[in-house]
Each structure stands twice: as C-alpha cells, then as structure tokens.
C-alpha cells in the first residue's frame, strides 16, 4: 500500500530544511537505508535515507525547495499503484524551489517607499511647472532645524492652485521688504502655507546663480560619479537563519559581561615552534606529513583552557531555570568560519588529550565543517567555546556566548608592543584574550580566577604537555 514519506527531523534543532538534491527518481526501486535525498538543515547537509522499501512513485517537492518538518516529500508504494488520493492529500505535485528574493526595487523597503518616485507618476523635477522648480531646501534656516527639508513628498503651492497666496500678514510684509514675489511659491507650513523660514529659501532661489541652476537641464544637476545600483539580494540559508535566531536570543536572554587580559605569548610561541619541529622530524621530510601534524596557537589554547576549566570548574557550567549544571566533562567548542556563516564543532574531553591529538582532531572537524559533512552530535553539548580571529589581524574582540555554555574566550592576534622588563622598555609581544561570561553562571571573581589560571599556564606552557 502506498504511503507518504515525510521530512524527518535530521538535527535536534531542525524546524525546516532545503532539499538540495534528490538521489532517487520516480520509478526507482528503494531499499531500506537507501539514500533518497540530501537536505540542508540549520547545522549541515544531512542524508535523508529510506525507512521502508518499495518504488518511488511520486516526488512531491523539487530540488531546492524549502520543506517544513513533517511535510510530505514523496510517495512510496508498489509499481503502478494509484496515488492520486495521496497526491491530493499532500497538496498537489512537486513544490517549486524557494523563489529568489525580488530585487529591492520590486518590493521597496520602508526607506525606499519615502524616497522613490512611483513609475507611473510624473517626476516633480522634470514635469512640474517652471515656477515651482526650486533648489533643494537648506536643512537649517536662521539657526533652527527645518524639519520640512526632509519631507518625503513635494509640498503644495502656497496658492493651493487658486491663485491666492497662503501667508500671514507678517510674512507678506517681510516679503515686500525683501522684494520677493510669493506667487506660485511653495510653502512648508500646513496646507502649503508660507512661513517665515521659507523666505530665506525664496531669497536664495531668486539669486542669478540659483535661477541658472533651476533652469539647467536635469543631467547637469546630478552629482558626478556612477549611478547607485540596486543591492544584491542573497537568499538566507538555513544556517544563516539559525545563526540569526540563536545569536539574537543569546544577546537578549543571556546577561553578558566581559573580562580582558593581555598575556605574553612568547613562551607559547617558542613551545609551538619546538613541537612542530619535533613533529616534522618524526614524520620525515614530506611537506604534506608536516602540514598534517602541525600545531597551531588555537590548539595550544584549547588545551590550556581545558586545564584551566578543570582547576576552575565553576566556569565549566551551564544555567537552567532549576539549577546551575557544573559539568564533569570538558568539551571545548571551536568556532569555525564556513561560507554560510559559523559552526562550532566540539573537541570532546580536551583536558585528557595531547596537543598533537587536539591538532589532528581540530583539522578534521574544520575540514568537514567547510564541506557540511559534520554530524549533528559533533556540534552539540559543548561546555566552553573558543573563537580565534587573530589570523584576520584582529587585536581583540568580544564574542557572543554560545548557549547553553556559560562562557566563550575570544582570541586576538599576536602583536608587537614595547613592554617593560627589569625596569627597561624593550620590544615584546602581547596576545589579547577577552572572556564573555554569562552572569547567571559566572561571577566576576570566578571569571577572573579562570583567566589567572589560564595566564599562568601560558606563562609556563610545558605544563600543557604533561597536564
């Protein structure tokens, strides 16, 4: 008997997915665990495999379609079986892929609706009577901000189209004294009424230079340079939608505070050089072998943070409404930049692994993250995070906490600075570390204690090889 195949939950936080590619065509035989399609979720590109056997009688969604969790995507049954009732139940034939967002001009933003001129309406500049053509209103008049200078629509003529000038006796008197003709002038007051602030503008408009500008062809009034093009509309990927939602929730619900320290990275850099030299010698002269085992500053910091978390377990914790969970495991999440945004694969039990093992694991996780081949469980349940932007030339920054973790360490670049040693100023190096803490979990003194332990480990980094 034919049955509907529904979009399964391929990650714990999945609510919808993009069916990027079918691997079975209509009429193909399907066995249990056969790969039916690939689905881009909020975490990675996952495999959608069959739970039953039969013939794929109908595909209900097309490649590239966004599908809600539990939505029918296909019909599986016996060859030749009538599936019209199931097709009707599912809502018809193949769903079209997600449409490309319209160009900004087709659906204007709130800003563009006030600034753009409808295509069907005549331009007030090119088709207005010549008597109404005046240069742009100066934003200030008499030292007072003229808010009407930024009005989204052209103001009405002062005579309201009747030939009668709308102005107070005082405004008329000042206009006569200045030799200004108010007929056909535009007013910025209610109903197009001329007010005192308009007179300075009209005086400027009556000057020979302004008159020449008003009568000039529109092409000569445009500023030099290329015309502004329309923005490129880039569709939101599932990952980008999830990043936007989670980071918004994190900043709105998690009370962040920040602790910053500068450390001397020289001992750490010297240790890294020694480790890489020994690894290169142990793997022979092949450049490829050396590259595969090379240790980075991030690898050493993962190990250092893991040991510091063991010594200050209050930072290895998460907040819940019922209790603070102090974890007995040290699982360090590492921020990895990918084309669609950012993922955080987890190095499990980092305190128990060697630096070389951490280096190999981080490279494997990062490579699979960039090809969307990470499994959901490899990106979940971390207890602490590290984000390093030093390779991009960033001195220091404050990262957003990755809930439900209680803290994240932001790492900047190693920078050259003059430092004081033995009472003398000498060339030195500094590394900026900024810790973002969830104040519901980590108090200031606890965060400071963690950074003190971390600084001590980095000052004597040989302990990273024996701890």
Query: Catalytic positions, please?
Result: 439
β-strand partners of 194: 167
Burial of 324 (0-12, 13-18, 19+ CB in 10 A): middle
Closest CA to 346 of 374, 323, 326: 374
Closest CA to 396 of 341, 453, 434: 434
Question: How many other CB atoms sit within 10 Å of the CB of residue 346?
Answer: 21
**DSSP character string of 243-288:** HHHHHHHHHHHS-EEEEEEEE--HHHHHHHHHHHHHHHHHT-S-HH
Residues 6+ away with beta carbon under 8 Å from 345:
333, 334, 336, 365, 366, 368, 369, 374, 378, 379
Consecutive H or E run containing 225: none
Residue 240 to residue 367: CA distance in whole angstroms: 19
- For residue 360 the two structure tokens come to 């190999």
Question: Sign of the C-alpha dihedral, residues 437, 439, 440, 441?
Answer: positive
Our measurement of the distance from residue 389's CA atom to the centroid of its chain's CA atoms, rounded to an integer in Å, reads: 16
Q: Which residue has the tokens 């939950």?
A: 9
DSSP secondary structure letter of residue 95: B
Residues 6+ apart with CB under 8 A from 131: 183, 184
What secondary structure does DSSP assign to 300-363, as a single string? HHHHHHHHHHHHSGGGSEEE-SS-EEE-SS--EEE-EEETTEEE--EETTGGGS-HHHHHHHHH
E strands, 87-170, are: 140-141, 144-145
Query: In terms of Cα–Cα distance, which of 370, 373, 378, 383 is closest to 341?
Result: 370
Distance between CA atoms of residues 222 and 227, nearest Å: 9
CA distance 419 to 205: 63
Beta carbons within 8 Å of 299's beta carbon, 6+ residues apart? 355, 358, 359, 362
């Amino acid at each position: 008997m034919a049955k509907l195949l529904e979009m399964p939950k391929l990650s714990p936080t999945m609510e919808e997915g993009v069916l990027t590619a079918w691997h079975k065509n209509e009429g193909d035989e399907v066995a249990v665990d056969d790969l039916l399609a690939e689905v881009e979720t909020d975490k990675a590109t996952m495999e959608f495999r069959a739970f039953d056997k039969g013939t794929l009688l109908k595909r209900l969604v097309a490649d590239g379609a966004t599908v809600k969790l539990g939505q029918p995507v296909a019909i599986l049954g016996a060859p030749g079986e009538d599936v019209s009732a199931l097709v009707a139940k599912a809502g018809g034939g193949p769903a079209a892929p997600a449409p490309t967002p319209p160009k900004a001009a087709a659906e204007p933003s709130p800003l563009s609706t006030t600034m753009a001129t409808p295509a069907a309406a005549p331009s007030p500049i090119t088709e207005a009577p010549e008597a109404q053509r005046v240069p742009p209103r100066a934003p200030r008049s008499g030292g007072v901000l003229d808010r009407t200078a930024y009005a989204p629509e052209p103001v009405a003529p002062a005579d309201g189209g009747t030939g009668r000038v709308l102005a107070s006796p005082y405004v008329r008197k000042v206009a006569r004294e200045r030799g200004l003709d108010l007929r056909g002038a535009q007013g910025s007051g209610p109903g197009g009424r001329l007010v005192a602030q308009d007179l300075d503008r009209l005086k400027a408009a009556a000057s020979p230079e302004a008159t020449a500008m008003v009568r000039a062809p529109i092409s000569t009034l445009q500023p030099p340079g290329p015309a502004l093009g329309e923005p490129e509309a880039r569709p939101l990927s599932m990952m980008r939608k999830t990043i936007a939602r989670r980071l918004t929730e994190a900043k709105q619900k998690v009370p962040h505070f920040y602790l910053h320290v500068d450390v001397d990275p020289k001992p750490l850099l010297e240790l890294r050089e020694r480790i890489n030299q020994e690894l290169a010698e142990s793997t022979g002269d092949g450049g490829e072998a050396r590259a595969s085992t090379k240790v980075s500053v991030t690898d050493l910091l993962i190990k250092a943070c893991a040991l510091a978390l063991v010594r200050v377990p209050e930072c290895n914790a998460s907040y819940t409404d019922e209790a603070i969970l102090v974890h007995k495991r040290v699982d360090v999440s590492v921020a990895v930049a990918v084309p669609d945004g950012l993922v955080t694969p987890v190095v499990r039990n980092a305190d128990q692994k060697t630096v070389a093992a951490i280096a190999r694991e981080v490279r494997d996780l990062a490579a699979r993250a960039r090809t969307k081949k990470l499994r959901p469980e490899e990106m979940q349940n971390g207890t602490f995070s590290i984000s390093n932007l030093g390779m991009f030339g960033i001195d220091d920054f404050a990262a957003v906490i990755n809930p439900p973790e209680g803290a994240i360490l932001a790492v900047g670049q190693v920078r050259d600075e003059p430092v004081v040693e033995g009472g003398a100023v000498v060339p030195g190096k500094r590394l900026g570390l900024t810790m973002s803490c969830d104040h519901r979990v980590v108090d200031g003194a606890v965060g400071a204690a963690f950074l003190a332990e971390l600084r001590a480990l980095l000052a004597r980094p040989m302990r990273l090889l024996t701890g």
